Amino acid sequence: MSYVPSGKAAGSRRTSLRGQPAGGARPVVSLPRALSKLGFCSRTQAAALIEAGRVSVDGRTARTVSLRVDPARSRIAVDGTLVAAGTKVYLMLNKPRGIVTTRRDPGQRETVYDRLPPDLPFLSPVGRLDKASEGLLLLTNDTGWAEHLLNPASAVPKTYHVKIDRIADEAFIEALGEPVEDCGERLSAAAVRLLRTGSRSSWIEVVLTEGRNRQVRRMVAAHGAHVLRLVRVAIGTLMLGDLGKSQTRPLTDAERAGIWPAIPRPRGKQD
């Protein structure tokens, strides 16, 4: 977490606790989201802090999570200490099977945060991998970057290597490449190809540009097969490569910037 000493910040603006900044300026985001965007904590944790009376905006205690503020201009403090945006962190993790993609699990299961280096600022996962899935997971405190990656309009390809419990012949591969309906949702893959086969199983590659819950598993099941292993090996131009299980590394500037050509940028915004 990054803090700055208490005191008036240059260019600060008073914000009404009714949710409207002074002077009629339009509010930007909710207070919990502002704390998340600043990299201080999750929205859920922020809501708890607000409800406990520990958060103030421009010197006045915030009374509601619905308060809307401008994170860049409002003076937001927790326990009397101003919250400032920290250094942006972009991290790649090779998630192993058996751990969940959440900060705290009610069932006390191990989470991806148990595998991160100490002394990191608050990071959020960019998308998720379920407990049984493994491979490339991105974490960052740059909410704008994450939101663009997750935006369905971005259509950033995600590549999975999938082991299934049957021999995948040409007919199976062709069928898996066609859209299917499941629980009222239309599921489709951008590309499917055979990687290799064994005596009783096959490895296939599935590329998605949409993010439905357990999508690959549901598509495979719709064709009478079962997923034995599911490994995400790439997100856009980012490759998992030879990063070891449970290991992390920061993205290079080139890697982070290399995803952007695949993502429509908001009009008027620069990287």
User: Known catalytic residues?
Assistant: 130
CA dist., res. 100 & res. 109, Å (int): 7
Provide the 8-state DSSP code for 11. Answer: T
Phi, psi for residue 176 in degrees, rounded to 5:
-65, -25
Residue count of the chain, please give it: 271
Judged on CB neighbours under 10 Å (0-12, 13-18, 19+), 106 is: exposed
**Could you tell me how far CA 255 lies from the centroid of its own chain?**
17
Task: Please name the residues in contact with 218: beta carbons below 8 A apart, sequence gap of 6 or more.
Answer: 180, 182, 183, 187, 212
Give the tokens for residue 141. Answer: 């405190």
DSSP state of 7: S
- Concatenate the DSSP letters of all residues of 21-45 into one string: BGGGPPP-EEHHHHHHHTTSS-HHH
